[in-house]
Amino acid sequence: MEITVSDKPLTAVTDDVILLPVYESQSPAEGLLAEMNHLTNGAVGQAFESGEMTGKPHRWVSLYLKGARATQRVLLYGAGQEEKLSPLQQQRWAGSALRTLASRSAQSVAVVMNGSCAGVTSARAIVEGALLGLVESNVYATEKEARAEITRLTLIGEVSAEAHEGVRVGTLMAEATNFARTLAHEPGNLMTPTKLAEEAAAMAMREGLSCQVLNEDEMKRIGMGALLAVSRGSAEPATLTVLDYCPSTESNHQEVIALIGKGITFDSGGISLKPADRMEEMKYDMGGGAAVIGAMQAIARLRPQVRVLGLIPASENLPSGRAVKPGDVVRSLSGKTIEVVNTDAEGRLVLADAITYAIRLGATRIVDAATLTGACVIALGEVRAGLMCNHQGLADELVAAGDFSGDRVWQLPLDREYGQLIRSEIADMKNIGNRTAGAITGAMFIKNFVGDIPWAHLDIAGTAWLDKEKPYLAKGATGFGVRLLAEFVSRCGG
């Protein structure tokens, strides 16, 4: 997609479609709408008078320009209440409008940055929303529907350094998110732990990051008993990928941020087998790993002044004659022992060893992202991810980065008492509690491995996947976490 900023007048625009935001309470007799009314021979005014156009979100009207070439149109697209237009709303406005246009044979679109959409953060939000909205899920059908693709986007507004920077950041954020979506969407037979590591390594090569992949022999040698317990049942070997971003210039930051993503490429539950209904969705149980890979790509392009490690512990979770069994006790890399009461609580096991490894590599702050619990889906649905944290300052930073980026989170508590739920009689801890506070007991388990290091856990089980498409986003993997993590890191080293 070629994206440019231009301040040419509406009459000089030659793109297939001129896309104009329309706000509730906006009058067609004023400003750009009046100009557009003139260019469409009064059709804009008619659209308002007839009540077809109201400015409400997702209301749209397509009109033809007088005297223009046959294909040139104007799309008036409702943007809702002007004063409530946050960056998230702008992303969604652009995503919905572009998705509406994608199926209507348009190749180039000029977006008029009018009213609240004219600010400097708008360029970023509009580009981000548009690029996220236009991507459809991976399809393997051999007969695909042919459709014209939108290949050019022009932002019509003030041409400034800020606008160009907005386009640059919006583009790299959306590209990284779409990359993560593609990874998370892949079926388990194609996206194995080895393939996930290869994808991370290829990205590192493209972006100039260092990358190291630990294989099972190396994991055995150093004693990653928790991660290896999960992969025992699978014929596919586990991998632990470590991506490393170092700031180019000598920075004052002593900080090493570790981003750790759960990379279960298929979660059947293991011996504690899941029901068949919707088990196929468990191919996206590597959504946290995909988010970390995507975030590292964005970070490589944002170049913040802080060192960042990205770790992706990857494995399948399958039952077999060799698989870990309920009741087994395993020794993690940290030395702590774990009673595996339920083999379906596998994410916390792979995260535990990755966290210990990150600490050995020098991590001073840790954020993990994981599709960890069904309980978090019940608690927060698909709107916000769960945030659990041992350090309130870090939690506040993540909430702010989430609200700004669109990947919103909501904090859940981690009082000591919750720890009692995962107390084991025969080991240092067990990997599940009772039926209560499931998202929190998952986090309490992980907390046992971080020591005093500031750490936050993002439970993205509900937000990593959309069951039904939204006007602004295709159904399937959402890439949740990429923009949150990249925004968070860029604020740390900005």
Residues classed as catalytic: 274, 348
- Residue 186 touching Zn ion (CB under 5 A): no
* Amino acid identity, position 123: A
Q: Which is nearer to ligand BES, 16 or 267 (CB)?
A: 267
Name the CA dihedral angle for 249, 292, 96, 469, rounded to a multiple of 10 degrees. 180
Determine phi and psi for 379, rounding to 5 degrees.
-70, -45
Residue 294 binds which one of Zn ion, ligand BES, none, with CB within 5 to 8 A depending on kind? none
Q: Which of 16, 236, 285, 407 binds ligand BES (CB under 6 A)?
A: 285
Residue 310 binds which one of ligand BES, Zn ion, none, with CB within 5 to 8 A depending on kind? none
- Residue 199 touching ligand BES (CB under 6 A): no
DSSP 147-172: -PPP-EEEEES---HHHHHHHHHHHH
- Residue 5 touching ligand BES (CB under 6 A): no
* Whole-angstrom distance, CA of residue 213 vs CA of residue 45: 62
Asked if 291 and 463 count as a contact pair (C-beta separation under 8 A), the reply is: no
* Whole-angstrom distance, CA of residue 417 vs CA of residue 440: 11
- How many helices (H) and strands (E) the chain has is answered by 14, 20
Total residues in contact with ligand BES, by rule CB under 6 A: 16
Q: Cβ of residue 263: shortest distance to ligand BES, in angstroms?
A: 11
- Residue 263 touching ligand BES (CB under 6 A): no
- Residue 345 touching ligand BES (CB under 6 A): yes
Binding map of ligand BES across residues 372-411, x = CB under 6 A, - = no contact: xxxx-x----------------------------------
* Amino acid identity, position 457: H
Q: Which is nearer to ligand BES, 7 or 280 (CB)?
A: 280
* Whole-angstrom distance, CA of residue 52 vs CA of residue 173: 35
Asked if 212 and 256 count as a contact pair (C-beta separation under 8 A), the reply is: no
Q: Cβ of residue 285: shortest distance to Zn ion, in angstroms?
A: 4
Asked if 362 and 311 count as a contact pair (C-beta separation under 8 A), the reply is: no
Strands 2-6 and 152-156: parallel
Q: Cβ of residue 436: shortest distance to ligand BES, in angstroms?
A: 11
Question: Which range binds Zn ion by CB under 5 A, 4-12, 45-53, 338-346, 407-415?
Answer: 338-346
Q: Cβ of residue 315: shortest distance to ligand BES, in angstroms?
A: 11
67: number of Cβ within 10 Å: 8
Q: Cβ of residue 47: shortest distance to Zn ion, in angstroms?
A: 49
Residue (of 222, 425, 234) closest to 331 by Cα position: 222
* Whole-angstrom distance, CA of residue 321 vs CA of residue 124: 52
Residue 115 binds which one of Zn ion, ligand BES, none, with CB within 5 to 8 A depending on kind? none
- Residue 342 touching ligand BES (CB under 6 A): yes
Radius of gyration for the alpha carbons in the chain, expressed in angstroms and rounded: 24
- Residue 487 touching Zn ion (CB under 5 A): no
Q: Cβ of residue 233: shortest distance to Zn ion, in angstroms?
A: 12
* Whole-angstrom distance, CA of residue 483 vs CA of residue 490: 10
- Residue 432 touching ligand BES (CB under 6 A): yes
Question: Which range binds Zn ion by CB under 5 A, 61-69, 280-288, 391-399, 428-436?
Answer: 280-288
- Residue 353 touching Zn ion (CB under 5 A): no
Q: Cβ of residue 209: shortest distance to ligand BES, in angstroms?
A: 27
Q: Which of 16, 346, 353, 368 binds ligand BES (CB under 6 A)?
A: 346
- Residue 247 touching ligand BES (CB under 6 A): no
Q: Cβ of residue 374: shortest distance to ligand BES, in angstroms?
A: 3
Residue 368 binds which one of ligand BES, Zn ion, none, with CB within 5 to 8 A depending on kind? none
* Whole-angstrom distance, CA of residue 196 vs CA of residue 183: 8
Residue 366 binds which one of Zn ion, ligand BES, none, with CB within 5 to 8 A depending on kind? none
Between CA 278 and CA 288, with CA 283 as vertex, the angle to 5 degrees is 120
Task: Select the residue whose beta carbon is closest to ligand BES and give its number.
Answer: 374
Residue with tokens 């059908």: 141
* Whole-angstrom distance, CA of residue 90 vs CA of residue 130: 10
- Residue 459 touching Zn ion (CB under 5 A): no
Asked if 64 and 16 count as a contact pair (C-beta separation under 8 A), the reply is: no
- Residue 134 touching ligand BES (CB under 6 A): no
In our burial notation (b when 16+ CB lie closer than 10 A, e otherwise), range 216-233 reads: beebeeeebbbbbbbbbb
- Residue 347 touching ligand BES (CB under 6 A): yes
Determine phi and psi for 473, rounding to 5 degrees.
-150, 140
Q: Which of 285, 339, 407, 459 binds Zn ion (CB under 5 A)?
A: 285
Q: Which chain residues interact with ligand BES by CB under 6 A?
A: 267, 285, 342, 344-347, 371-375, 377, 432, 438, 461
